[in-house]
Chains A and B, each alone.
Chain A
Amino acid sequence: MVGKVALRALACALLLTCILLSLGTGRIWLEPAVLIGSIFEPKPSLAWLILSELRVPRTILGLLVGASLGLSGAVLQGLLRNPLAEPGLLGVSAGAALGAVIAIYFGLSAAFALATPILGIGGALVAAALTLSIGRGGTLTMILAGAAVSGLMGAGVSLALNFAPNPSAAYEITIWLLGTLENRDWHQLVLAAPFILAGWVCLVLTMRDVDALTLGETQAESLGVNLARTRLLALAGTALSVGAATAVTGSIGFIGLMAPHLVRPFAGHQPGRMLLPSALFGAILLLLADVATRIIPTAGQEVRLGVLTSIVGTPFFLWLVTRLRRMSP
């Protein structure tokens, strides 16, 4: 019991450190004392502008997006009883990206600010629904369906790139897809946050059901789990939170896969118990990665967040696959 309290305290301390790091680092180095002092000094000052308009929204967005990815990864892994499940693998991220790209490059977001999150969520919902309905048969079919849906959504993005009305848009779409938290503002945060929070509620409601699902679908149903409802909640929750997050940040992979695996040894193997720690670790991982993009010395642009998480995530994924192969009979 003491161990658990210590672990929780440690996780919270880690998160707090990441938040402070995220507020303290940037393209311009400002002394922590100057940053704190700017809160009380006359405004506008350089430190206050940078802190309040750039770093605080960036950090909050990082928290929300990371937690969404971690939480949905944990729910999907529990629901599908498959350690490889995550929003990216099931095509949800690609669907959200497609929706957002259409909203941005065909002028919808300029006409109507909510278009980007709504189309992002719409794309995520379509992708998730396709994957879940095609891949019902079992783990393997689900992964294959996810790959197919990801491919389809990717093709949709390519098509949008192909027909982008502005010649510079093709370049921009490509860069946008790499994912970043750079230069995000309060307005985008306020647009996405309600959807993300609503998604969290849906995902947390599946907590009890994913526990029962460890016994298998038939047993879970005999225990009173309404499978259709659970699937729908997981689907809607993932689409809402990951869809809205992707619409604001672009695609960020592997966080949803890594976070549940990192907490599993500590939180125990009960899927329902892993949801909140996974969300916490998702946020920690994303903030750490985002701080790293700002610290890694590059000549010009920042390393894109999605690129960094993929570079770190792929070896992890490969390790996971080889470990699973060893464990399977």
Chain B
Amino acid sequence: MGSAEGLHHNRRVIGGAIVTALALGLSLVGGGAVVASRQHAEPLIAMASAKPQRIMSTNLCTDLLLLMLVPKDRIASVTHLAHDAVEVLMPGSDDGVAVNHGTAEEVVLQQPDLILASPWSTPVMRRLAAKVGAPVVEIDSANSFDDIRRITRQVGAFAGEPQRAETLIAEMDRKLAELAHQHPRQPVEVVAWSAGEGVPGRGTLTDEIIRAAGAVNVAARMPDDNFSSFGIEELLAARPKGILRGRNGFDGPLLADTASEHPVIRKAFKDRTISFPVFLHSCGLPQSADAAVQLREALGKLPAEGVAW
């Protein structure tokens, strides 16, 4: 027992020494760049005017924002997950951009001067990033169009492209205003249902998108906030006029896809299934307004009469 503890201790000492050595070396190279977290974001915004030249994103949603905001030559890397989403949303815009897996080693290797992370990124990565002197900025996930405005501005400010961010937001707001202007008189009831788990209800971006499109989200009536579970029996009993099904664009097969294809769903919601790009709902992006525009269009094509049962 004692020897195991000793060994563990030794390892820690060695590990600590390596990290310290790395940190020392790299901070000398980096010229003592600022270490930041969300708590002291203020000085960072001031620093942002310096326009970071090697931005690394470690989260799918910030990948997409970054690719929209910043020229490619200033992006150090985006995550390996980004490519599939980019192919769906903005084909070709990640050509030639390096890829990371959100690991600590890549931080050391790629020597970014700004790291965009989610609140869930690995603590080791963040500790190491702090030690090599790369400022880490935590970007929240978006649950509303307000959040999208805030986050886009935030990333724009840190990346040194506030103007570009404002342009994207203005474009989004123009589309939303157009939708609100032609609000349908008879709102249609829909639900974003795939395999019954994690059906987005009140307080989710999907709910906002559905409302912006002029429809009513059946799942918003569920007692749980955010996401609720919604079995096939409940779905049938709720009798929505249409169901929204996410296409995530990842290649691999998923059971959720087959479960949504339960024959009763296929039969009951024939001509009533609307597919949408999942990334526009799961990541708050200025293009999320496009999801609402597409949904409005699809709602118009739903059969006029209610469900048959």
Measured CA separation A219–B121 after assembly (Å):
65
Say yes or no for B46: interface residue by CB 8 A criterion.
Answer: no
Report the Cα distance A164→B252, complex, angstroms. 7
- Quote the shortest CB–CB distance from A74 to chain B (angstroms): 32
CB distance from B165 to the nearest CB of A (A): 28
A322 CB-CB contact with B under 8 Å? no
- Assuming A28-B237, A300-B228, is B252 touching A183 (CB within 8 A)? no
Residues of chain A contacted by B239 (CB below 8 angstroms): 46
Any chain A CB within 8 A of the CB of B30? no
Instruction: Provide the residues of chain A in CB contact with B250, threshold 8 Å.
Output: 165-168
Binds A, one of B124-132, B258-266, B284-292: B258-266
**Count of residues in B whose CB is under 8 Å from the partner chain:** 31
* Contact of A166 with B251 at beta-carbon distance under 8 Å, contacts A54-B264, A183-B259 already known: yes
Partner among A27, A28, A105 whose Cβ is within 8 Å of the Cβ of B253: A105
Known contacts A45-B309, A183-B262, A185-B264; decide if A50 and B236 are in contact (CB<8 Å).
yes
Provide the residues of chain A in CB contact with B196, threshold 8 Å.
183
Q: Using A53-B264, A54-B264, A186-B263 as known contacts, say yes or no to A169 and B254 having CB atoms under 8 A apart.
A: yes
Residues 39 to 77 of chain A near chain B (Cβ within 8 Å): 44-46, 48-50, 53-54
B252 contacts A166, C-beta separation under 8 Å: yes
Interface string of A285-304 (1 = CB under 8 A from B): 00000000000000111100
Q: Which residues of B contact A323 (CB under 8 A)?
A: none
**Cross-chain pair count, CB within 8 angstroms:** 88
B232 touches A54 (CB 8 A): yes
A166 to B256, CA, bound (A): 12
Q: Which residues of A contact B232 (CB under 8 A)?
A: 54, 183
Q: Is A324 an interface residue (CB 8 A)?
A: no
Q: Which residue of B lies closest to A110 (CB)?
A: B253
The answer to whether B233 has its CB under 8 Å from any CB of chain A is yes
Q: Name the contact of B263 in the complex, choosing from A106, A185, A299 (C-beta under 8 A).
A: A185
30 CB contacts below 8 A, A to B, read: A27-B231, A27-B233, A27-B234, A44-B268, A44-B308, A45-B309, A46-B237, A49-B264, A49-B268, A50-B236, A50-B237, A53-B262, A54-B232, A104-B253, A105-B253, A106-B253, A109-B258, A164-B252, A165-B253, A166-B254, A167-B81, A167-B250, A168-B248, A168-B254, A169-B254, A172-B254, A183-B262, A186-B263, A301-B197, A301-B229
Which A positions have Cβ atoms within 8 angstroms of B? Answer: 26-28, 44-46, 48-50, 53-54, 104-107, 109-110, 164-169, 172, 176, 182-183, 185-187, 299-302
